[in-house]
Amino acid sequence: MGTSIKALLMASAMAVTIGSAHAATLRVGLQDDPDSLDPAASGTYTGRIVFAAMCDKLVDINANLEIVPQLATAWTWNDKGTDVTFTLRSGVTFQDGTPFDAAAVKFNIERMTTLKDSKRKAELAPIDTVEVVDPTHVIFHLKGPFAPLLSVLSDRAGMMVSPTAAQKGGEFATNPVCSGPYMLKARKQRDSITLDKYAGYWNADSIGYDEIQYLIIPDSTVRLSRLQAGDLEVAERIAPTDLATVRSDNKLALHSSPGLAVSHLMINVGNGEKAKTPIGTDPRLRKALELSLDRNVINQVAFNGEFIPDNQMIPSSSAFYSKSHPIPARDVEKAKALIAEVGGAAPKLEITYENSLTDGRVAQIIQALASEAGFDVQLLPLETTSAIQRYLAGDFQAYIGNWSGRADPDPTLYAFFGSDGSQNVNKYKNPEMDKTLVAARQASDEATRRQLYEKATDIYLTDLPTIPLYHPNWFYGARADVTGITIFPDGILRVQGVKPAK
């Protein structure tokens, strides 16, 4: 073989290599199809995973749940805790070229608090006005002290979208424009979401792939099979029963973290006709249902003991966890006594849930355990999008909810138990709970907040508008040649630093 031919082949090989690297795609298997791709209107966990690649936030959290800079590089509070001044990162642009500055921050906060379908209104309600000081400084004037503000801004409420794009009119969610490392290329409902790398990203050196494809694969077994076959680089929510398979495969890597999330059985107590059931109207029956369950059995049978059974919405790793409210032991006789005290026929209950392998197992275990106490439980598995639509509309008697949790207790407890909470789809109302949650928001010292959340825990475990079941740990499977994956307790796949191995 002549030198010229060798050189030609080498050049061709290099061209293929360079071309492959240039076209590097990160394929991520998601369990659910996200809902709206507008951070103001989104309400799903998988939506947060996609947003992590599209939309930077004012602040983020780290693995220790500490608040760290993202679009805001620094912040200072006034002495009363009613004003916070942010210093903004310079040289940032949205994906349509619009500059990111203080005016854009003001626009975003006002948009999220006034947009008709915004789910961020309650989260941002403590903000009174936003003042633009100069292009890189903005002041949030609060109605009163609000301790969880930075934690709130570390999620969708802190995501910045392009004012230019948002003011064009039309459905923003079909063509979202943010300032993150990737921008929307295409979406096929219930199938895939494809993102292209944004060349103007302020932290471009941290981005290792030119494209991300999120593929909607509800069945965890199928996600794992495609990961093993090399059809995916990453798969979220590996089932606990499949962990041994991942751990024993040297072509795969397992990335995990203790979670802030909670899985719970929400009871419709106030939303429409489906709340008008014996269990929806009488807390004694909800207590009876809880006593009929054995959370340890659910964990062992459904999850090989890999999760953390619990009766609280906040995980035990939180400083605000209530140690005075332990998990009640299963007591079938006491459950039967409560049912007899209420009287009438066997209480009926229909449980709606997303037709995933894990939720299906949990639903069947609940059905079996509750029936031993005298409950007549019917199961209604639905395709994910339909299930979420019913959930958001409050169109259920009971629903197996999966909440990804937050670093501060407020975004969880206020969202589910505040009268105007964004996740209060079962329309639970308790004036004393509202008063307690508002006081906890306004308290500036941790000791006072602990006391208030202790009281809040006592209230919701008495009323039981939802029955917490367990806290999942986060398990991501990945190909071993994907580097830089770190999963934080919020369970979100952050793409900064994720790169193909050289």
Exposure b/e, 165-186, CB count within 10 A at least 16 = b: bbeeeeebbeebbbbbbbbbee
Tokens 């039309």, located at residue: 170
Q: What average pLDDT does the segment 43-71 reach?
A: 95
Which is higher by pLDDT, 319 or 434? 434
Contact at 8 Å (CB) between 260 and 310? no
Q: What average pLDDT does the segment 213-219 reach?
A: 95
Q: What average pLDDT does the segment 195-208 reach?
A: 97
Q: How far apart are CA 436 and CA 415, in angstroms?
A: 14
| 180-257+474-500: CATH class | alpha beta
The proportion of the chain whose per-residue pLDDT surpasses 70, expressed as a percent, equals 95
Q: How far apart are CA 192 and CA 205, in angstroms?
A: 26
Level-2 CATH architecture, domain 262-471: Roll (3.10)
Say what the pLDDT of residue 56 is. Answer: 98
Q: Count of residues for the chain?
A: 502
Q: What average pLDDT does the segment 166-172 reach?
A: 90
Is the pLDDT score of 93 beyond 80? yes
Tell me the pairing of strands 211-216 and 192-197. Answer: antiparallel
Q: What average pLDDT does the segment 373-395 reach?
A: 94
Say what the pLDDT of residue 9 is. Answer: 41
Confidence of residue 23 (pLDDT cuts 50, 70, 90): low
In terms of Cα–Cα distance, which of 72, 32, 66, 68 is closest to 50?
A: 32
* Local structure of residue 210 (DSSP, 8 states): S
Q: What average pLDDT does the segment 183-211 reach?
A: 97
Say what the pLDDT of residue 21 is. Answer: 40
Is the pLDDT score of 1 beyond 80? no
Confidence of residue 6 (pLDDT cuts 50, 70, 90): very low
In terms of Cα–Cα distance, which of 282, 61, 250, 238 is closest to 150?
A: 61
Confidence of residue 4 (pLDDT cuts 50, 70, 90): very low
Sequence-distant (≥ 6) Cβ neighbours of residue 100 within 8 angstroms: 71, 88, 89, 92, 93, 94, 160, 179
Which is higher by pLDDT, 402 or 3? 402
| 56-163: CATH class | alpha beta
Confidence of residue 335 (pLDDT cuts 50, 70, 90): very high
Is the pLDDT score of 449 beyond 50? yes
Is the pLDDT score of 16 beyond 80? no
What are the extents of the domains in the chain? 56-163, 180-257+474-500, 262-471
Q: What average pLDDT does the segment 282-304 reach?
A: 97
Tell me the pairing of strands 376-382 and 348-354. Answer: parallel
Say what the pLDDT of residue 18 is. Answer: 38
pLDDT digits (tens, 9 = 90+) for 257-288: 988 999 999 999 999 999 999 999 999 999 99
Contact at 8 Å (CB) between 418 and 434? yes
Say what the pLDDT of residue 398 is. Answer: 98
pTM score, two decimals? 0.80
Say what the pLDDT of residue 5 is. Answer: 40
Say what the pLDDT of residue 317 is. Answer: 83
CB count within 10 Å of CB 459 equals 16
Long-range contacts of 323-330 (CB under 8 A, 24+ apart): 324/454, 325/457, 325/458, 325/461, 327/295, 328/290, 328/291, 330/291, 330/292, 330/293, 330/294, 330/369
pLDDT digits (tens, 9 = 90+) for 242-258: 999 999 999 999 999 98
Is the pLDDT score of 460 beyond 50? yes
